[in-house]
Structure 1
Amino acid sequence: MSMTQPASTPSHPAVRSLQVSRISTPLTGTVAVPGDKSISHRSLMFSALAEGETRIVGLLEGEDVLRTADAMRALGARITREDDGRWHVHGCGLGALKEPADVLDMGNSGTAARLLSGLLASHGMTSVMTGDASLRRRPMKRVTDPLAATGAVFLAREGGRLPLAIQGNANPPPLDYRLPMASAQVKSAVLLAGLNAKGETRVEEPVPTRDHTENMLRHFGAKVSVEETPEGGRVIRLQGKPRLIARDITVPGDPSSAAFVLVAALLVAGSDVVITNVGLNPLRTGLFTTLREMGARLEITNERTEGGEPVGDLHVKASSLLAVDVPADRAASMIDEYPVLAVAAAYARGISRFRGVEELRVKESDRLASTVALLEKNGVRTKVDGNDLIIYGTQGAIPGGGVVETHMDHRLAMSASVLGLVAENPVEIDDTAFIDTSFPGYFPLLNSLGAGFTA
């Protein structure tokens, strides 16, 4: 196979609006969703820190992940792609990243920006990160505040927003940090800073969050231990200055991407869909648990382990859904899936309550406000009660007819497209261009099942 260095990611995409109308035929067939975004980001970052060559199969080639590839290349890693989609990363070795010659543009990727902050804070160089208009509105202080304990200096706009200049510290001390709220991104940023520190870095999280960072660090040879706390949280300990050795990685299908196909199949009458090779990390499957509580006919088959992560196939059939009360301690395992779960709850019978969803306020948009607007503009009653979201189900009769403002948020756009497939009147989506950041080929994949999108 020929080897090429992929071109840099394109500039911010042109606006693509879309009208979605109700379909009368079922969704049927078997599909595979793109690779897991969280694991893809980490695959590139960690292999860039390792000694030797890492081969990656199944990497998500969405714009968010390509931004990470560009950044790690700018920091000294040699990254190439074969024609068959296999990626090769020749790492620099821990502590050997080089100062970038230009600003690192992270596009729309909050994950990349926050995780990379941990790496940049613990290397003795100056760097600057920026992003698109959406990313520049999102707060970074919850990451930069704990990372300041490394001795790094951060200069940012008001509220800690990008562009962000970082003067890193080549000899950072180990960190001891307790997260005030559950966030896998903040946890990971602190752990990544701890890689280049002598001694033990300790992170305590109030509830367990996705543990791809811990799993992959072990995969590359780092010593990471995890213990449960009496309060139901976790303490993660990382021994600094490990020797990271290149290891091949197989990236499973992204459960957060599978969520949109899954919910569409549940809501469109008569549907019968199989989604293959989906990651089943137990800290990522809260949506599957919740949908089953709502009455979803969802079966997991062909369960197996690949690259240290559990994987399986999802077989889903159209179902009559009932309202659900989602506990706050489940939020971390499904934080990206709440917008599309809200669509399912809007279609269900009864009143649903999603508890403790304050983390939604600091995602690509204020996803709590955006999700409320998505539903309200299409005739679905909602209520925000403190940090809880309440949705009054329509029993299969979502009026639709509204215009959805996505605020450059890919998950809002996809959730609105699912709602449009079952709403009584067409739904207008102001911009679908940013779907490619996490789910390239979303519309063709759904169309292969019979969705009939015209995007």
Structure 2
Amino acid sequence: MKAIVKPAVRLQGEINALSSKNYTTRYLLIGALAEGTSLIYYPAHSDDSDAMRRCIRDLGAIIEEDDEKITITGFGSNPSDIKELNVGNAGAVLRFLMSVAAFSPEVTFVNTYPQSLGKRPHHDLIDALEQMGVTVKHNEGKLPITILGGQPRGGKITVSGNVSSQFLSSLLFMLPLLDEDSEIEVLHDLKSKVIVGQTLEVLEMAGIVVEASDDLMSYRIKGKQKYAPQKYVVQGDYPGSAAILAAAAVTHSDVKIFRLAEQSKQGERAVVDVLKAMGVNLTHENGIVHVLGNQQLKAGEFDGDHFTDAVLAMVAAAVFAEGTSRFYNVENLRYKECDRITDFVRELVKAGADVEETQSEIIVHGMPEGVAGGVDIDAHYDHRVIMALTVVGLRSKKGLVIHDAHHVAKSYPQYFRHLLALGAEIELVED
């Protein structure tokens, strides 16, 4: 599907934030790892969360769902003996379940997105699993990956954190279920520490005790723990909402988004402060973010590692700011569904933006007058690229045509519908 995005005259209205993908996938996983029945209220519906639903069901979880909640009866540390799992294009789901699969005799994760997830590296987690006595067959660290498990052992484990925090989170979910106590030392650096904070938060909710150092670089985990079945309520999603907020910021607008908690542990909550720093007229009270956009933004410098999944949306806003913006410490964006630095910058330049890159930075020379647009854009199968380029299209002079736009459903299936409800002109056409 292609999205024909036309210049926006004005965006106005109110929407509810979609439910958090990151929290939904984590609640589904800890519900599956519990021995008993858990309830998850207001779960996200996206390709990623649906992949987790599908895979844990294949692994033996019993799932029932109505309009309000999911009821899930878990399998603990005894998943079904299944030979294959298909996570689609969901990298976090793959990585979380690679550790869970170590409880099974043999599971192969198939490669159904060779041009996206199939290109992403998983060496760091593979190395950690092998330290636990798990045999892993793989394609130079990439899919397809076969886990030959059955009897993983705890102990002292090292894992690199300089590509993704998901490898560490994967271990934190699985290690409490082992017979042995474990210690984790994170090597090199740890990207997206705020997201590790989300993992620790949900583990605590499920009654799991993890001792973490203040810098989140070392952990002590007692063995023989059990996940307690619980009731969970999924909060609103900041990463997806960031793109709507960016769209409101770069246009004439009066937009409110509900269900965005002020005290959320989502790192992308920082976009509220980023947009304020860029001069956007914005308030955040009682879970409501209210933007009054006037097309006047100013440049700034931001550490993107604090809001990884919202960096592209903020870059899109900075395209129209007065001055030069710098988003630094973002090298981990290169290891997502696409290279979110090189691939994204290439498409921005194609649209008429003045943007450059370094290995770990995106530098934006703002164009308050707007960009030309009028071109076809390659989305690189990446939902965050699609959302951010839509923002650019709304402020362009001639609009943009974004190909493969249906991949936005990976995290935000309602994205275009929400923009249309706010008054955007977007035509969705089947290729």
TM-score (norm 1): 0.88
Distance 1:420 1:35, change over 3 A: same
Counterpart contact for 1:321–1:347, Cα < 8 Å: yes
Distance 1:71 1:118 in 2: 13
1:179 is paired with a residue whose SS is strand
Whether 1:324 and 2:310 are equivalent positions in the alignment is no
Query: Paired residue for 1:33?
Result: 17
TM-score (norm 2): 0.92
2:352 is paired with a residue whose SS is coil
Which among 227, 232, 236 is matched to residue 213 of structure 2? 227
Query: Paired residue for 1:272?
Result: 254
Paired residues in the alignment total 418
CA RMSD of aligned residues (A): 1.8
Gaps of 5+ in 2: none
Whether 1:340 and 2:310 are equivalent positions in the alignment is no
Counterpart contact for 2:127–2:159, Cα < 8 Å: no
Which among 272, 289, 300 is matched to residue 314 of structure 1? 289
Distance 1:245 1:51 in 2: 7
Distance 1:65 1:126, change over 3 A: same
Q: Deviations over 1:164-211 (max 9, x none)?
A: 111114241234335342633122012123123310333446463312
1:292 Cα deviation after fit: 1.7
Query: Paired residue for 1:105?
Result: 86
1:314 is paired with a residue whose SS is strand
Whether 1:138 and 2:120 are equivalent positions in the alignment is yes
Query: Paired residue for 1:54?
Result: 38
Distance 1:186 1:301, change over 3 A: same
Distance 1:446 1:249 in 2: 29
Counterpart contact for 1:256–1:336, Cα < 8 Å: yes
Counterpart contact for 1:174–1:240, Cα < 8 Å: no
Q: Deviations over 1:121-164 (max 9, x none)?
A: 3x142101123232112212132222221111111113x11111
Distance 2:55 2:315 in 1: 34
Which among 102, 126, 151 is matched to residue 106 of structure 2? 126
Query: Paired residue for 1:68?
Result: 52
Distance 2:270 2:356 in 1: 22
Distance 1:393 1:28, change over 3 A: same
Distance 1:278 1:144 in 2: 36
Distance 2:48 2:149 in 1: 24
Query: Paired residue for 1:191?
Result: 172
Counterpart contact for 2:4–2:399, Cα < 8 Å: yes
Structure 1 residues 203-212 or 416-425, which shifts more? 203-212
Distance 1:52 1:436 in 2: 31
Q: Deviations over 1:78-105 (max 9, x none)?
A: 01112x2311101112x111221x4211
Distance 1:255 1:418 in 2: 16
Which among 241, 266, 287 is matched to residue 271 of structure 2? 287
Counterpart contact for 2:100–2:174, Cα < 8 Å: yes
Query: Paired residue for 2:284?
Result: 300
Equivalences for 1:359-438 in 2 at 5 Å?
359-438=332-411
Query: Paired residue for 1:116?
Result: 97
Distance 1:52 1:261 in 2: 38
Structure 1 residues 342-351 or 175-184, which shifts more? 175-184
Distance 1:413 1:282, change over 3 A: closer
Which among 311, 330, 334 is matched to residue 357 of structure 1? 330
Query: Paired residue for 2:203?
Result: 217
Counterpart contact for 1:203–1:237, Cα < 8 Å: no
Whether 1:45 and 2:29 are equivalent positions in the alignment is yes
Counterpart contact for 1:190–1:203, Cα < 8 Å: no
